[in-house]
Chain A
Amino acid sequence: MDNKIYIIVGHYGSGKSEFSVNFAKKLNTLNKSVCLADLDIVNPYFRSRETRLSLINLGIDVISDTLDSVKGLDMPYISPAIRGQIAYNKKTIILDCGGDNVGTRVLKQFDDLIKQRDYEMYMIINVYRPETSTVEQIIDMKNKMEAESGLLITGYINNSNFLRQTTVDDVMNADSLIKEVSKITSVPIVYVSALESILNKLPNDISGEKFEINLSLRSDWL
């Protein structure tokens, strides 16, 4: 049970990498041996590999490409070590995918291995992204990502935000919408993630476990 694979998917810019980095740190504090694999070959900016050095210092493995790049590499390939980690089954693995179904396509090469393991595939949702702002759009995106990867989504993460401008109402309105998606698709909302200042103000009956995000890819001045 310990060596679960967590696959983080979702629309472009919905917060997959921020969640993945924070999730890796969280699992690490629970004494799990964690490996974060950055599978984003869609976008060369704001990727989880940018936090590589700080994560390695915490004892978290980070794999992306074979050059262990942090920034600046715009090459659509991933390290074969990722397949090795999945097959080896010794670590809790977080697979941080690129955006949309284009980003989940990369999973197809592992789906045979992943299906043999205990896995969760979480879809991150920010309902304030114009292309995942309705129940229909979210379900459409879910279906496309599942079809492309050959894997099923097992949980939703409500990460709806306007960065530092987010209000409690923004998160609550998103909760209503994603609940509707959850009801139609019979997939649970597993987390609601937000900055600490918002998370503390959310009511306890909100769907999903509260998960704190510390912005690690975005500088304080941005």
Chain B
Amino acid sequence: MYAQMVKTGVDHIQSKEEMSPEERAFQDRVDQDIKIEPKEWMPEAYRKTLIRQISQHAHSEIIGMQPEGNWITRAPTLERKAILLAKVQDEAGHGLYLYCAAETLGVSRDELMEQLNSGKAKYSSIFNYPTLTWADIGAIGWLVDGAAIMNQVPLQRCSYGPYSRAMIRICKEESFHQRQGYDAMTKLARGTPEQKQMAQDALNRWWWPSLMMFGPSDAESVHSAQSMRWKIKINSNDELRQKFVDQTVPQAEYLGLTVPDPDLKWNAERGHYDFGEVNWDEFYQVIAGNGPCNRDRLRTRVKAYEEGRWVRDAADAYAAKKAARTKAKAA
């Protein structure tokens, strides 16, 4: 997902008997679906895991602006240009909501940015793939936003209040993005032979990386189990991936496009599609920094941040001068 393989720092799931009274009271609230708010007591591991998860999500929104931003100046019509610009702008907005949500847990946006820029913090593997043609913009909206929604809709119900509320706002916009992406793909799939080929090529390249977004199977992971107990993760990675495949394959068929998986087959008994094995070696390589665009993405981000420093400093200096003048006047 936008947050992949988030570690919780625990090595086993505590039973209620092992918990301190505070921990037990906390878990009871979570079990009763009562939202946890910033000023309330929470286990340190819960707080740290949430910071990791929310900031990874925020970083993904910010880095995710690059692959799509790559086509803003080349969008094929004024309307498509406006839609794409508004979409990338929404991603900046999502990043802001999420950094604000993370800040309620006692970490500053600057600290988080620093972690991203130094390469210490992770962001979703998907944004390390290049956007080579216009069809990639449609494919990202359709597949990548589609996959993101799968995870984010359940997270609207997550236990941490500020994160849950950020998700509610974000989901509204994401579903609009997904529809726009599918609409752009439809235009291509129904267009000239070259356009249709462009659409098929984009599907070929984005299909597997989209499945990787859900992360490796976590049925055995103690971290996932802990996160689910805390209700900051609602479904397992495999459940979400299956749901995504089941939803997306008929959409591809409707477009007359072929999903690039020879093992893809409807399984009537299971009531789900069977599909081939994801290349997890590739996934781990991308996570380790060896995807096609990792270096460019990070360099671009660092460059914007560093080149913007004097502007942020000037804004601070001006605000301080203004405040001093107001104070002097009042005195």
Tell whether A and B belong to one assembly: no
B residues in contact (CB < 8 Å) with A: none
A residues in contact (CB < 8 Å) with B: none
